[in-house]
């Protein structure tokens, strides 16, 4: 059984990318949401298995994983093509480029420096 944990307001692009990956793969999953503002995610039943207590988190038959890119890569490897649609390119160079693009598009905190263009 796959369960994705996210924020109740659907404001997190990280949760959304994990959600889209599950849908694109055509996987059955349950969605559970927390009100992050009220601290619903700070309960031991969530913080202990996830370690960070952050969303998105994926639970798959007792295995817990956080971080959206790790979740996407796990889904890609656990449910590979051709049985399930591929969500990452097949060529290693294209997969590396997809990961690079994904990390560049991720929102940064106000205190994090903006990436500097090299061209």
53: which DSSP letter?
Answer: -
Percent over 90 (pLDDT), the chain:
64
Query: Taking 70 as the threshold, does the pLDDT of residue 68 lie above it?
Result: yes
By residue count, the chain amounts to 119
The answer to whether position 21 is within a domain reads yes
CATH number at residue 87: 3.40.30.10
**Cα separation, 91 vs 75, whole angstroms:** 17
The answer to whether position 96 is within a domain reads yes
The answer to whether position 90 is within a domain reads yes
Q: Is 102 exposed, middle or buried (0-12, 13-18, 19+ CB in 10 A)?
A: middle
pTM score over 0.85: no
The answer to whether position 119 is within a domain reads no
Higher pLDDT, 115 or 23: 23
Strands 30-34 and 57-60: unpaired
pLDDT in tens, 1-45: 999 999 999 999 999 999 999 999 999 999 999 998 988 898 999
Instruction: Domain count for the chain, please give it.
Output: 1
């Amino acid at each position: 059984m796959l369960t994705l944990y996210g924020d109740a307001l659907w404001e997190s692009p990280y949760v959304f990318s994990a959600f889209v990956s599950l849908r694109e793969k055509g996987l059955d999953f349950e969605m559970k949401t927390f009100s992050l503002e009220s601290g619903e995610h700070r309960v031991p039943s969530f913080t202990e298995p996830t370690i960070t207590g952050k969303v998105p988190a994926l639970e798959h038959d007792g295995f817990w994983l956080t971080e959206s890119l790790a979740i996407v890569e796990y889904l890609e490897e656990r449910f590979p093509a051709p049985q399930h649609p591929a969500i990452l390119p097949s060529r290693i160079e294209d997969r590396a480029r997809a990961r690079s693009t994904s990390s560049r598009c991720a929102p940064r905190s106000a205190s994090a420096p903006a990436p500097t263009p090299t061209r």
